[in-house]
Amino acid sequence: MSELNVSTSRHTWAYLNRVVEGPSPTLHGLLTQYPAEEIARGIYKGEDWIGPLRQATASRRDWLRQDEDLAAAEAVGARLITLDDAEWPGEEFARAFGFYHQGLVDAPATFDDQAVPPHSLWVRGGNLREAVAQSVALVGTRAVSRYGWEVGSLLAGGLAAHQWTVVSGGAVGVDTAVHEAALDAGGQTVAVAACGIDISYPARNARLFDRIAGNGCIVSEFAPGTRPQRFRFLSRNRLVAAMTSGTVVVEAGFRSGALNTLNWAEALGRVAMAVPGPVTTSGSLGCHQRIQDGRAQLVASVDEIRGLVGKVGEVDAAGQYELEFQPTPVQRLSRNELKVYDSTPPESAEEGASAEDIAAAAGMRVALTIHLLVAMQKMGVITRSGAMWQRT
C-alpha cells in the first residue's frame, strides 16, 4: 500500500473528499476537534477514535488518488476549496444549517443525516462566495412545458438584470432555461452538480457549462469521476437551497424532484416560493399544492421574488403594480358616481339627456345628480352641451 500524502492542505482535503462522500455528520463533528491532517491519518490507519467513520471508510481508506483528482480538476479549470479559503460561502452555510439544528421546522427525519455543510467543494469558474452573496435558486421539472420555459426565462432574466445570481442544478428542462436566460441577460449563474466536476451531465449541456464557468461557476461536492446517481441529486439539492436566499419552483408535478429542493429551503430557513401554473395540466400540481398548504409563497414576477428575499422595504411589489396598472378615470369613480355615469347616454348616442332624466334613471335626487355630473365633467368623463349631458 502506498503512503498517504498529507504534505499539503490540498492533498489532505482531496483524500478526505474521495474517501468520505458528503454529507457526513461524523466528519463535520471531528473537524471541530481535530486538524484535517490528523483525521486523514486516522481514517487511513483505521483508528478507533474516528468513530463511525472507521466502518464507513473501510472499503475506501486506501483510495490514494489525491494527485489524480487534483489533476483531473485542473484539466477542466477547477479547484478544490474548503472552509479555510476566502471564497468559501461560510456565512450562508452557517445560517442555513444553524437554523435547521435549532429545530424550528418539522423537517423529514431523513434530513438529519444530511443537514450539515459540505467539508470541501470543487469549483470551476469564478469566486463562489461572491457569486452566491445575492442569489436565488430557480428549479423545476425536467419535463418542462413551453409555459414553464417562458416563465423560468422571464424570472431568471429579470433577476439577473437586478444583479441577483441565479442558482440551479444544470439539468435539462427548467434548469437549462434559467441558466441560459441569466447568461443572456448578462448576469451570473451557478450550477450545482450531482457528479464529479470533470463530468458534463447532461452531456447535451456541455457548452452551457462552459458558458456558466465563464460568468458564474459550477460547483460539486463529489470527487472527480463520480457518476450521477439518484441519492447524489438529493444531496445536491440541500446545497442549492443552503447557498441562496430563497428557492423558487417554477414548474413541478406532484412528485417532481424539484420539490425536494423546496423542502430543504423550508428546513434551512430560506424563503420557499412557487409559481402557479395552468390548471388545464398536471405540470404545476406540485407548485399548487405547496401554495395551498401554505408551505410556499405564491410568486408571479421578479419584483415579488425580490420583495421576499431582498432587504425589508427594498422592493414594494404591490406599489409597483399600482404604478404599472393605474386605474382608468372610470375605475376611480365612486359608487354613486358610477350610478350617474351609467345612467348618462354614451358618446355614441344621438343626443344626451337632461339632469332630471339622468336622476330618474339613477334613482337619485336631482341636486345630487347635478353635483356629481359637474364633478365628473371636471374629471373628463362627462361632457355637457347646453342642458344635455353625455359620457365621453
Both 43 and 123 in a single domain? Answer: no
Q: Answer whether 218's CB lies under 8 Å from 170's CB.
A: yes
CATH number of the domain bearing residue 339? 1.10.10.10
Task: Please tell me which residue, 65 or 103, carries the higher pLDDT value.
Answer: 65
Does residue 203 sit in the same domain as residue 140? Answer: yes
Domain tally, the chain: 3
Q: Considering 39, 64, 89, which residue would you say is the last residue of a domain?
A: 64
pLDDT tens digit string along 187-215?
999 999 999 999 999 999 999 999 999 99
Q: Give Dmax (Cα) for the chain.
A: 108
DSSP labels, 23-83: P-HHHHHHHTTS-HHHHHHHHHHT-GGGTHHHHHTTTTTT---HHHHHHHHHHTTEEEE-T
Let me know whether 312 and 352 are in one domain. no
Domain boundary at 304, 324, 344, which? Answer: 324
Query: Does 305 map to a domain?
Result: yes
User: Based on the domain organization, do 59 and 3 belong to the same domain?
Assistant: yes
Residue 275 located in a structural domain? yes
> Is the separation of the CB atoms in 245 and 260 below 8 Å?
no
Compute the distance between CA of residue 184 and CA of residue 216 in angstroms, rounded to an integer.
Answer: 13
DSSP line for 327-386: PPTTTT--HHHHHHHHTSPPTTSSS-B-HHHHHHHHT--HHHHHHHHHHHHHHTSEEEET
In the listed set 18, 39, 64, which residue is the last one of a domain according to the structure?
Answer: 64
Same domain, 203 and 147: yes
Tell me the pLDDT tens digit for each residue of 164-182. Answer: 999 999 999 999 999 999 9
Cell numbers 470541501: residue = 120
Any domain includes 80: no
Instruction: Specify the CATH number for the domain of residue 311.
Output: 3.40.50.450
The pLDDT tens digits for 117-171 are 999 999 999 999 999 999 999 999 999 999 999 999 999 999 999 999 999 999 9
Is-contact 310 273, C-beta < 8 A? no
Verify that 111 and 248 share a domain, yes or no. Answer: yes
Residue 193 domain flag = yes
| 142 and 290 co-located in one domain | yes
Q: What is the pLDDT of residue 107?
A: 83
**Do 264 and 385 reside in the same domain of the chain?**
no
Q: Are residues 56 and 127 in the same domain?
A: no
What pLDDT is attached to residue 84?
Answer: 93
User: What value does the mean pLDDT take over residues 39-58?
Assistant: 95
Check whether 19 has a pLDDT greater than 70. yes
Amino acid in the structure at residue 333:
L
Residue 213 lies in a domain: yes
Per-residue pLDDT tens over the stretch 296-349: 999 999 999 999 998 655 656 556 565 567 788 888 898 899 999 999 999 899
CA 293-296-300 angle, to 5 degrees, is 120
Instruction: Note the pLDDT of residue 315.
Output: 58
Domain-located, residue 70: no
Q: What value does the mean pLDDT of the chain take?
A: 94
Residue 13 parent element (H or E): helix 9-19
Are residues 36 and 114 located together in one domain of the fold? no
Residue 188 sits in the same domain as residue 251: yes
Q: Which domain holds residue 29?
A: 1-64
CA distance 266 to 17: 28
pLDDT class of 265 with cuts at 50, 70, 90: very high
Please state the pTM of the whole predicted model: 0.83
89 occurs within a structural domain: no
**234 in the same domain as 148:** yes
Spell out a b/e string for 248-282, using b for 16 or more CB atoms within 10 Å of the CB, else e.
bbbbbbeebbbbbbbbbbbbbbbbbbbbebeeeee
For residue 106, name the pLDDT band (cuts at 50, 70, 90). Answer: confident
Percent of the chain residues topping a pLDDT of 90: 88
d(CA 178, CA 150): 9
Query: What distance in Å separates the CA atoms of residue 135 and residue 10, rounded to the nearest whole number?
Result: 28
In a domain, 198, yes or no: yes
Q: pLDDT-derived band of residue 105, with 50, 70 and 90 as boundaries?
A: confident
